[in-house]
Amino acid sequence: MERRNLYFFYRKEDKLIEYVEQLHQLAKEHQFTVVDDADKANIIVSIGGDGTFLQAVRKTNFRQDCLYVGISTTGALNLYCDFHADETDKMVEAMLHEKVEVRRYPIIEVKVDNNPSFYCLNECSIRSAIIKTLVLEVYIDDLHFETFRGDGMIISTPTGSTAYNKSVRGAVVDPLLPCMQVTELASLNTNQYRTLDSPFILSGTRKLTLRDVQDGNDFPTIGMDNEALSIRNVKQIDIKLSEKRIKTVKLKDNSFWEKVKRTFL
Ligand code: NAP
Ligand code: MN
């Protein structure tokens, strides 16, 4: 695999600028080319934390022909970061290795009404933006499954399962399983209103549809990972697993479950 064009994605802070200067030097020494235009890259390096990695992937449009590499500057190895900032030897070794093993992370594809679809690496979240409850008709494929009334819902990818999903008691899901998980945010459950009230996991071949019941609260906040979508009156949201995958490097002793263990246990 001939990947030689590097693009660095980071917040332009003094400390990071200095660090990236160092990476530039290192890249040159090993015959890599650093490009200023992400479109010309085939390796995109995110420098920061998981939040930065999510942005790096989003701002470069979920590239299929790129390898994404996360370098952590937060002191801990995060879920999407495989290298500590000071492990430059390890980075060089991994990038020069003939056959760098590639890890593929499933992402979800979301379509809101007739707008162009967008992708999420962590999750898509739909939340009431006002004090009133949000009402959503929930369909799995073409089955009307339930009517949700509450704060909102989260649809997460396997790698997103350790983020927002986990805070609302969703299960942690192995990214080798191409699927999406649906969790609720404070559902009302009474003799009048009923939802499953537990997280559920859909196979990668299913489609989830949420229809916003037009009852006056029709301007929910829609989140795609760490960014809000600026679509106003929402009627229908269609969510499915994308055929796309995000490729990242796979290192030794750094399986998903090793990451989960060192992050949470
Ligand atoms: P943030 O509010 O600064 O981050 C929240 C925390 O989640 C950070 O510590 C971040 O790590 C971590 N994180 C992000 N993706 C993760 C993953 N896949 N597994 C485990 N931890 C993860 O915002 P952000 O850094 O831009 O991250 C956006 C994400 O925050 C959203 O996609 C959502 O999942 C999550 N979020 C969680 C809650 C909640 O738990 N109540 C509410 C809103 C959003 P870093 O410090 O390394 O960036
Ligand atoms: Mn963050």
DSSP 39: G
- Report the pLDDT value the prediction gives residue 173, as an integer from 0 to 100: 98
Residue 226 confidence class, pLDDT cut points 50, 70, 90: very high
Q: How far apart are CA 149 and CA 187, in angstroms?
A: 6
Q: How far apart are CA 170 and CA 147, in angstroms?
A: 20
> Which phi and psi angles does 96 have, rounded to 5°?
-90, -15
The answer to whether 5-98 and 107-244 have equal CATH topology is no
CATH fourth-level superfamily of 107-244: Probable inorganic polyphosphate/atp-NAD kinase; domain 2 (2.60.200.30)
Mean pLDDT of 133-143: 97
- Report the pLDDT value the prediction gives residue 92, as an integer from 0 to 100: 87
The ligand with the least distance to the CA atom of 81 is 1
Q: Which residue type does 3 have?
A: R
Residue 61 confidence class, pLDDT cut points 50, 70, 90: very high
**pTM score of the predicted model:** 0.96
Residue 231 confidence class, pLDDT cut points 50, 70, 90: confident
Distance 164 CA to ligand 1 centre (A): 7
Distances (CA, A) of 198 to 100, 191, 242: 39, 17, 24
- Report the pLDDT value the prediction gives residue 236, as an integer from 0 to 100: 97
Any ligand 1 atom below 6 A from CB of 60: no
On whether the CB atoms of residues 164 and 123 are closer than 8 A, the answer is yes
Mean pLDDT of the chain: 95
Ligand 1 pocket, mutate which of 57, 73, 74, 78 (most atoms under 8 A from CB): 78
Strands 83-84 and 43-48: unpaired
- Report the pLDDT value the prediction gives residue 184, as an integer from 0 to 100: 98
**What fold is seen in the domain 5-98?**
Rossmann fold (3.40.50)
Q: Specify whether 197 is catalytic.
A: no
What does the pLDDT look like over 164-203, one tens digit per residue? Answer: 999 999 999 999 999 999 999 999 999 999 999 999 999 9
Ligand 1 pocket, mutate which of 55, 119, 164, 221 (most atoms under 8 A from CB): 164
The ligand with the least distance to the CA atom of 50 is 1
Q: What is the largest CA-CA distance in the chain?
A: 69
Q: How far apart are CA 226 and CA 101, in angstroms?
A: 28
Q: How far apart are CA 76 and CA 39, in angstroms?
A: 30
Dihedral angle sign, alpha carbons of residues 249, 253, 257, 263:
negative
Distance 226 CA to ligand 1 centre (A): 8
Q: Measured between alpha carbons, how far apart are the two ends of the chain, in Å?
A: 36
Q: Where are the domains of the chain?
A: 5-98, 107-244
Catalytic residue among 14, 36, 37, 50: 50
